[in-house]
Amino acid sequence: MFVLDLAYQAMEKVKVIQDRLKAAQSLQKSYAGVRGISVPDILVLGLEKGKVEEIQSLFLGAEQSKNEPNQMIVLEWLFLTIAPCDAAEPWQLGSQDAATPIMQGITDLHHDVFFFVILILVFVSWILGRALWHFHYKKNPIPQRIVHGTTIEILRTIFPSIIPMFIAIPSFALLYSMDEVVVDPAITIKAIGHQWYRSAPLHEGD
């Protein structure tokens, strides 16, 4: 919500600056036939004091904010692109809202893996609880003397091998998408590192 408020404030300020510039340009066109328009020339015209102060503020504000619209448009673009992305919160569980398809894939993979984690947790907890309940020293003072169990050993070897396969299959597409080389990128960044009297550009892959 805080980022959205900032975005709305930036948009309102852009609108105010654009209205201010339009008003100043219209005044300049209106008085262009009298003399080259300027604040002293407007004072010579004998306008009302309040009107003169208003025109002065328009021109001074327009002169001071010639470059502000471009800056505010950039800020507006940044805020509007960042606003849909959630920010971290105290005691937050899970990831922030994804801003890219790759991050969305990472979040989905996390949810898929967490499903298997819950299944393993429930199964292991059930086995431990069952062992504690049935093999209590008061109920069963003499434990079963099992030396070898082929079936259980096969099962406990196969099932843990199948689970990573189900986890690995969806992660392959994500890994390949992260390694994909963008042919026509929307934005490129050039980073140059400076240390003492030596400068070195950071190449892709460093």
Q: Tens digits of per-residue pLDDT, 138-156?
A: 777 776 676 677 888 888 8
Does the domain at 101-178 match CATH 3.40.50.720? Answer given as no
Q: From 17, 19, 10, select the one nearest 65 (Cα to Cα).
A: 17
CA angle 22, 26, 32 (to 5 degrees): 140
pTM of the model: 0.44
Cα–Cα separations (whole angstroms), residue 15 to 2, 10, 19, 72, 112: 20, 9, 6, 10, 46
Looking at per-residue pLDDT, the higher value among 62 and 165 belongs to 165
Domain with CATH 1.10.287.90 in the chain: 101-178
pLDDT band at 121 (very low <50, low <70, confident <90, very high): very high
User: pLDDT tens for residues 10-56?
Assistant: 567 657 666 765 665 565 555 544 444 444 444 444 444 445 455 55
The H or E element containing residue 83 is none
Of the chain, the percentage scoring pLDDT greater than 70 comes to 52
Side-chain-side CA neighbours of 170 within 13 Å: the count stands at 13
Burial of 28 (0-12, 13-18, 19+ CB in 10 A): middle
